[in-house]
């Protein structure tokens, strides 16, 4: 389980996350909505442990361990993984080697790459000259090899072309054990008990909801988690009246 | 006056002449008297002590000679092993060539000037030996020829002169290493190399240096590439050296001639490297590329590059990337000189430390900070070299792999 309690974070001098409380239970996937600049990426980077995001108060607990002060690699080894929006290029490191580095045990990189239609990129340097959509597939491929328990996705659909979008959606769903197809093949309660993976997905378009049976939607507005609701409802509300209106409406109800 | 006397006269006049760049070496402090070593048969090579074999392997010399087209092996001042294993490829000690073959006179000191500085002068006046490697017209080297210049005697000044000729339509691959024995500390190596790449020939020359900490190294190289020829020159130096200075020059003298230089340098504390490449593009269709990767662990590295475009329709690129890991100095000096409209010349140079963002990214995949750093450094040194035979690529990879431990 991921538990975030009263988390406050600064980037430089700016307070970017304020009093964040969030719980993600095993088997749950949450969708994170919010306008540009509201702090969504910052929240993911803070959970991953990027040191420039300074935690000034509160704590992050994962699998019962207080990870607030842990370095990135220890969090990764504890089972947290992230699909980045704009990861850096690593010159001279082939994607094939990167896949092996991500995996704890030896993996068949060709087989994994096939799942995200990425076989043709295995011998290219990691992220070198990749388009937006190619980066997303490369990130997914790395997560497939890493197979973490908590997965943080920063806009996994942005830049992905029509041909690959359903592939990306289905791969994320299978990583998170949240595919609609899985639910059909197993008794519902059984499937629910079997799920252990946790997910937190940033999306603007909501496309991911077509593939992933998400449990909750969260709206981050001006550094604050302003509402928890059904992700489809949030998407509709924001689509009709915008974030500001949406947050106000929900605050009133609450 | 006889040609030899003329050369000697010119050399004598230059005996005090300092090099154009780089710290001066006082050659008086070293001994260039011949050191006798007996010739070694194939089986003797394989019976060398393990430690020495290891030094040789690091410099690319495989004593089993498997997957090698020939071997030249010089220890101190003497040739101790030399033969070709392929028809159409000749490997001859240069002293023997000067005695027995008139044709060598068409090449000896024809590109490099004997009176360029005190080092060229010393190589003429006190020549120990060196190799002549030649691929005959139309022949293709199947396996690379290996050449090794080994220093064993402490305080030695080794003077060698090498001539490499790829005749028309031939293909020649050479791996050459310089190494010092494990107990050797101090010495100076003077090496003259003249490269002739003839019409439509291809020459790849991969040099791996493994020096001792107090070695002074002064190579002097000039190459000439004729029409349609390709000269691919790789240089790898990952080990400490007191001072290494070289600035090899290549002349592209026929249309569509191509020269590409790749250098990978790791500079240790107390070491000083001043190296680069200069390529003259003199005919339409000439292409030149100089790519350098340098890492300083506390050593001083000056990486030069000079491209001179003399006619239109040439293309040249210079790339120098440096990483400072632990202090030291990296000084990139890229120069582009265009003498005509219609040249296409570019350079990029970047020197800095490892990007924190890249380390964090790899750490997010579970690597420790040290593992992430090592992975990035290895990637940085992993240069794609088009046209390099796989055995030579493997040698370069091994040199990088071995140096990993030192770099970290």
Q: What is the pLDDT of residue A252?
A: 53
Distance CA A232, CA A209 (A): 8
Q: What is the pLDDT of residue A55?
A: 96
Tally of helices (H runs) and strands (E runs) in chain B: 8, 20
From the number of C-beta atoms within 10 Å of its C-beta (0-12, 13-18, 19+), residue A59 rates as middle
3-state secondary structure of A5: strand
Residues of chain A contacting B, Cβ within 8 Å: 48-51, 71-73, 76-77, 81-82, 84, 87-88, 90-93, 98, 101-102, 104, 125, 142, 146
The shortest CB-CB distance from A88 to any of B355, B365, B369 is to B355
Residues of chain B contacting A, Cβ within 8 Å: 355, 357-358, 360-369, 372, 375-376, 378-383
Interface residue of A49, A90, A102 to substitute, partner B, most B CBs within 10 Å: A90
Interface residue of B360, B368, B382 to substitute, partner A, most A CBs within 10 Å: B360
**CB of A247 within 8 A of CB of A234?**
no
CATH placement of domain A2-253: 3.40.50.300
Beta strands B300-309 and B272-281 are: parallel
Distance CA B331, CA B7 (A): 36
**Global model pTM greater than 0.80:** yes
Is the backbone of residue B138 left (phi > 0), alpha (psi -120 to 50) or beta? left
Q: Which residue has the tokens 């060598």?
A: B104
- pLDDT tens track for B28-44: 999 999 999 989 888 88
Give the pLDDT of chain A (254 residues) as one tens digit per residue: 999 999 999 999 999 999 999 999 999 999 999 999 999 999 999 999 999 999 999 999 999 999 999 999 999 999 999 999 999 999 999 999 999 999 988 889 999 999 999 999 999 999 999 998 999 999 999 999 999 999 999 999 888 888 888 899 999 999 999 877 655 566 777 777 788 999 999 998 888 899 999 999 999 999 988 888 889 988 888 888 888 877 776 555 54
**CB of B272 within 8 A of CB of B299?**
yes
Q: Do B364 and A82 touch (CB under 8 A)?
A: yes
User: Which chain B residues are within 8 Å of A82, Cβ to Cβ?
Assistant: 364
User: Which chain A residues are within 8 Å of B362, Cβ to Cβ?
Assistant: 90, 101
User: Which chain A residues are within 8 Å of B367, Cβ to Cβ?
Assistant: 73, 101
User: Which chain B residues are within 8 Å of A150, Cβ to Cβ?
Assistant: none
The shortest CB-CB distance from A50 to any of B360, B376, B380 is to B360
Q: Do A87 and B360 touch (CB under 8 A)?
A: no
**CB of A120 within 8 A of CB of A89?**
no
H/E segment holding residue A210: none
pLDDT < 50: residue spans in chain B: none
Rg from Cα positions in chain B:
21
- Which DSSP string do the residues of A159-181 spell out, in sequence order? T--HHHHHHHHHHHHHHTT-BHH
Non-local (6+) Cβ contacts of B95 within 8 A are B127, B129, B130
Q: What is the pLDDT of residue A181?
A: 61
Non-local (6+) Cβ contacts of B346 within 8 A are B316, B317, B318, B336
Residue A232's nearest CA partner among A215, A244, A220, A248 is A215
Q: What is the residue extent of each domain of chain A?
A: 2-253
Residue B222's nearest CA partner among B174, B263, B161, B282 is B161
User: Which chain B residues are within 8 Å of A70, Cβ to Cβ?
Assistant: none
Give me the interface pTM, i.e. the ipTM.
Answer: 0.94
Structure token pair of residue B301: 């590295």
């Amino acid at each position: 389980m991921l538990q975030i309690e009263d988390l406050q974070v600064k980037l430089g001098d700016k307070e970017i996350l304020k009093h964040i409380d969030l719980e993600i239970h095993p088997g749950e996937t949450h969708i994170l909505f919010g306008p540009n600049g509201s702090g969504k990426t910052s929240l993911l980077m803070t959970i991953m442990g990027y040191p420039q995001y300074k935690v000034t108060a509160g704590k992050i607990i994962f699998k019962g361990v207080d990870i607030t002060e842990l370095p990135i690699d220890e969090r990764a080894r504890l089972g947290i993984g992230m699909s980045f929006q704009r990861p850096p290029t690593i010159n001279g490191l082939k994607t094939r080697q990167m896949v092996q580095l991500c995996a704890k045990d030896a993996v068949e990189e060709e087989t994994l790459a096939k799942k995200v239609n990425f076989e043709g990129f295995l011998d290219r340097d990691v992220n070198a000259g990749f388009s937006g959509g190619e980066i997303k597939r490369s990130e997914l491929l790395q997560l497939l090899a890493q197979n973490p328990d908590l997965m943080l996705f920063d806009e996994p659909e942005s830049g992905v072309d029509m041909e690959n979008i359903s592939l990306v959606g289905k791969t994320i769903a299978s990583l998170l054990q949240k595919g609609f197809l899985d639910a059909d093949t197993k008794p519902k309660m059984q499937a629910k008990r079997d799920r252990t993976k946790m997910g937190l997905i940033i999306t603007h378009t909501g496309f991911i909801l077509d593939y992933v049976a998400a449990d909750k939607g969260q709206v981050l507005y001006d550094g604050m988690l302003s509402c928890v609701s059904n992700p489809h409802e949030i998407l509709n509300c924001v689509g009709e009246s915008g974030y500001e209106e949406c947050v106000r409406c929900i605050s009133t109800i609450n | 006056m006889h040609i030899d006397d003329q050369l000697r006269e010119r050399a004598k006049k230059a005996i005090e002449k300092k090099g154009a760049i780089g710290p001066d070496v006082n050659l008086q402090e070293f001994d260039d008297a011949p050191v006798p070593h007996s010739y070694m048969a194939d089986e003797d090579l394989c019976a060398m002590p393990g430690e020495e074999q290891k030094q040789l392997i690091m410099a690319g010399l495989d004593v089993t000679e498997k997957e090698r087209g020939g071997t030249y092996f010089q220890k101190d001042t003497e040739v101790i092993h030399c033969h070709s294993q392929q028809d159409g490829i000749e490997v001859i000690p240069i002293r023997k060539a000067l005695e027995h073959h008139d044709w060598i006179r068409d090449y000896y000191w024809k590109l490099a000037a004997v009176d360029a500085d005190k080092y060229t002068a010393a190589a003429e006046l006190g020549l120990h030996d060196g190799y002549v490697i030649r691929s005959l017209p139309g022949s293709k080297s199947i396996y690379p020829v290996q050449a090794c210049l080994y220093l064993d005697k402490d305080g030695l000044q080794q003077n060698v002169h090498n001539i490499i000729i790829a005749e028309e339509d031939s293909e020649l691959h050479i791996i050459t290493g310089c190494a010092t024995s494990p107990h050797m500390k101090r010495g100076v190596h003077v090496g003259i190399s003249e490269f002739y790449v003839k019409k439509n020939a291809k020459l790849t020359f991969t040099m791996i240096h493994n020096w001792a900490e107090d070695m002074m190294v002064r190579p002097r190289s000039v190459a000439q590439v004729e029409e349609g020829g390709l000269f691919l020159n790789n240089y790898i130096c990952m080990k400490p050296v007191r001072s290494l200075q070289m600035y090899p020059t290549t002349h592209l003298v026929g249309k569509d001639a191509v020269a590409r230089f790749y250098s990978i340098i790791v500079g240790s504390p107390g070491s000083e490297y001043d190296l680069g490449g200069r390529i003259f593009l003199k005919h339409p269709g000439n292409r030149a590329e100089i790519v350098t990767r340098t890492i300083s662990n506390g050593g001083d590295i000056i990486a030069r590059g000079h491209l001179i475009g003399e006619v239109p329709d040439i293309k040249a690129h210079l790339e120098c990337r440096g990483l400072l890991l632990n202090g030291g100095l990296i000084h990139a000096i890229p120069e582009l000189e265009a003498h005509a409209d219609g040249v296409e010349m570019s350079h990029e140079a970047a020197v800095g430390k490892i990007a924190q963002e890249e380390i964090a990214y790899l750490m997010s995949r579970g690597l420790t900070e040290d593992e992430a750093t090592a992975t990035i450094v290895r990637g940085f040194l992993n240069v794609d070299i088009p046209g390099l035979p796989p055995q030579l690529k493997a040698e370069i990879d091994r040199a990088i792999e071995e140096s990993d431990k030192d770099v970290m």
